[in-house]
Homo-oligomer: A and B are copies of this chain.
Amino acid sequence: MNITLEQAEKMLVAAREKSTELGVKMNIAIVDAGANLVAFAKMDDAWLGSIDIAQKKAKTARYFDMPTGAIGELSQPGGALFNIEHSNGGLITFPGGLPIKDNDGTVIGAIGVSGSTVENDHAVAEFALTAI
């Protein structure tokens, strides 16, 4: 099963609502089960550098089916996955990327959010998951 564009766009809407509530400007990317881009939105005046980071967070979350922040804990100096960021054309392993699951727990895609603190990025991604 794959996330549909309709589902992805519901998530984009929710992500933007949450961003507006927090007073932040986000880039939001959603990839499918194959880690391919399905939908993307750059809020006006969001950081240019976050266009790529939002997409890399979404891909990273789907590549390993876990929150990006969980990978980041393992990729620190001395950690089991030190510098895993060098793989796959560049990973982003700090918070803001989350897998998207259907009701059976199957991963159908992932979302990546970038544009503020990692706490805000994560909060927006998490809120967007409630939209579907």
Contact = CB atoms under 8 A, between A and B. Distances in A.
A47 B33 contact: no
Interface residues of A, number: 52
Contact of A82 (B9, B33, B75): B75
Nearest to A81: B94
A121 B53 CA distance: 26
A11 interface: no
Contacts of A36: 34-35, 42, 48, 51
Given A78-B76, A88-B49, A88-B52, A39 B42 contact: yes
Interface of A: 2, 4-5, 9, 32-44, 47-53, 56, 60, 62-65, 72, 75-78, 80-94, 117-118
7 contacts: A34-B35, A36-B51, A38-B42, A49-B60, A76-B82, A81-B94, A83-B93
8 tightest A-B CB contacts, nearest first: A34-B34, A49-B63, A40-B40, A86-B90, A85-B86, A83-B85, A52-B88, A77-B77
